[in-house]
Amino acid sequence: MYDLRSLRDLLPAIRDQLGSRGADVAWEEVEKLLQDRRDRTAQVEALRHQLKKGSDEVARLKRAKQPAEETVVAMRALRDNIAIQEEHLRAIEGELEEHALRIPNLPHDTVPQGTDASQNVEIRRWGEPPSFGFPPKPHWEIGESLGILDFKRAGKIAGTRFSMTLGAGAQLERALTSLMLDMHLHKHGYTEVLPPYLVNREAMIGTGQLPKFEHDLFHLRDDEYLLIPTAEVPVTNMYRDEILPDTALPIRHVASTPCFRREAGSYGQDTRGLIRLHQFHKVELVAFTTPEESYSELERLTNAAEAILQTLELPYRVVSLCRGDLGFATAKTYDLEVWIPSQQAYREISSCSNFETFQARRANIRFRPQGGKPAYLHTLNGSGVAVGRTTVAILENCQQDDGSVIIPTALRRYMNGVERIASNPAP
């Protein structure tokens, strides 16, 4: 979110820095509105100055016991005109704010140049992709043959892009959630939050989903509520319109929630399996910190998400998103991509981002430095990690030639000692 002063003073620089990321911003309209605001502001200020002089003249006339009625009438008309002009100014500023909400965040200087995902920069890899003595199966075939995934019945209940896990599959997702929460709570120092799954429009505006991504969200028909696309929304908005003491920072929260996404524009992509669904579960990490510490916090948060994949012994890589692939609200993002054998490719399982002051401005979240004035803090978040996609990675990387799946060692205590999911077809 940009304040109107920043837009007035820095519009050409902002437009240049955003490049193709700002392609759908109505720059010419913004420029016109900024000029209209300048002109209208100057007009209002001139009228106020005229009013002050007139008021002083009325006072002088009254002190001199001279007729002042004509000047008083003129000043009343002037006040009415000022009120009209101020109303016009507020309307212009309202339009400008609507446009400002649609302008993406500026990329950090360390973000790689590039126009799309093919130009993202690999930072590191962990683990070796497994070798199989047989053609690896996709996770949906594995899950259906084991009787732990049922897409047909989920479709009957809800429609396409929904799934249903059964038996050991449901237990696996619950175990993954427990392991992730325990690690983030006890090893990484996050505080757990169980937030609402329905939020108001102000919350979605605060984190950047609205107004730009209206069509990606699920709305309630009769109420002004929306289903959360990620726990980032309610957890970040916990501190909306608050000023936090600097001694409270950093604040680190973790939340496990269902996520709901319309996946508008994704038709034809990942139509089978668990990769791209309308409903899925995710463990989310959210942090609030000072501007000076936010990039070290980004590394810490990313390492916390990586630790989950390392504990599960899942091969992955970390990539830094280039400027053309950055999300709308982020200043810098690392994607964690886990190896998917059936696709012979790494696929995203977590995005870890620093938003700098972008969300804090929209949600009005500030901190007070000792002895200083309130300032906007920096917000960060990342998946720690997506539960469904972790299930995909386990089913595919740990599959055996007899169709069974080995449970990662660290996960077994969360599954009552189960070491392997063997074939048990559902009826």
pLDDT digits 0-9 by tens, 226-281: 999 999 999 999 999 999 999 999 999 999 999 999 986 666 677 788 999 999 99
Span 157-214, pLDDT tens digits = 999 999 999 999 999 999 999 999 999 999 999 999 999 999 999 999 999 999 999 9
Tokens standing for residue 187: 């090893």
pLDDT of residue 341: 98
pLDDT at 384 over 70: yes
Q: Of 21, 261, 323, 366, which residue is the catalytic one? A: 261
pLDDT at 316 over 90: yes
**Is 102 one of the catalytic residues?**
no
Span 64-77, pLDDT tens digits = 989 988 999 999 99
* Lowest-confidence region among 52-56, 310-314, 333-337: 52-56
Instruction: Using a pLDDT cut of 90, give the percent of the chain over it.
Output: 91
pLDDT of residue 5: 83
Average pLDDT over residues 397-421: 97
pLDDT of residue 15: 94
Q: How far apart are CA 367 and CA 170, in angstroms?
A: 42
- Three-state SS across 91-112? HHHHHHHHHHCCCCCCCCCCCC
**Is 122 one of the catalytic residues?**
no
Average pLDDT over residues 122-144: 97
Identify the residue with better confidence: 69 or 306.
Answer: 306
Q: Residue 50's CB: how many other CB atoms inside 10 A?
A: 15
pLDDT at 427 over 80: no
pLDDT of residue 217: 97
Average pLDDT over residues 291-304: 98
pLDDT at 120 over 70: yes
Q: How far apart are CA 411 and CA 418, in angstroms?
A: 9
pLDDT at 117 over 70: yes
- Three-state SS across 130-151? CCCCCCCCCHHHHHHHHCCECH
pLDDT of residue 266: 65
pLDDT of residue 1: 67
Q: How many residues does the chain have?
A: 427
pLDDT at 387 over 60: yes
pLDDT at 330 over 70: yes
**Is 389 one of the catalytic residues?**
yes
Contact 275, 227 (CB under 8 A): no
pLDDT at 219 over 60: yes
Enumerate residues 6+ apart whose C-beta is below 8 A from 377: 244, 249, 288, 289, 290, 291, 357, 360, 365, 366, 367
Burial class (CB in 10 A: 0-12, 13-18, 19+), 51: middle
Q: Of 21, 40, 161, 389, which residue is the catalytic one? A: 389
pLDDT of residue 264: 67
Q: Of 276, 347, 368, 412, which residue is the catalytic one? A: 276
* Lowest-confidence region among 84-98, 133-147, 208-222, 411-425: 411-425
Q: What is the mean pLDDT of the chain?
A: 95
pLDDT at 383 over 60: yes
**Is 261 one of the catalytic residues?**
yes
Q: How confident is the model at residue 426 (pLDDT cuts 50, 70, 90)?
A: low
Q: Of 348, 368, 404, 412, which residue is the catalytic one? A: 348
- Which of 152, 130, 134 lies closest to 143, judged by CA? 152
| Chain Cα centroid distance, residue 214 | 14
Instruction: Using a pLDDT cut of 70, give the percent of the chain over it.
Output: 98
pLDDT of residue 271: 77
Average pLDDT over residues 213-227: 95
pLDDT at 91 over 60: yes
**Is 153 one of the catalytic residues?**
no
pTM: 0.92
Q: What number of helices (H) and strands (E) belong to the chain?
A: 11, 15
Q: Of 320, 342, 351, 383, which residue is the catalytic one? A: 351
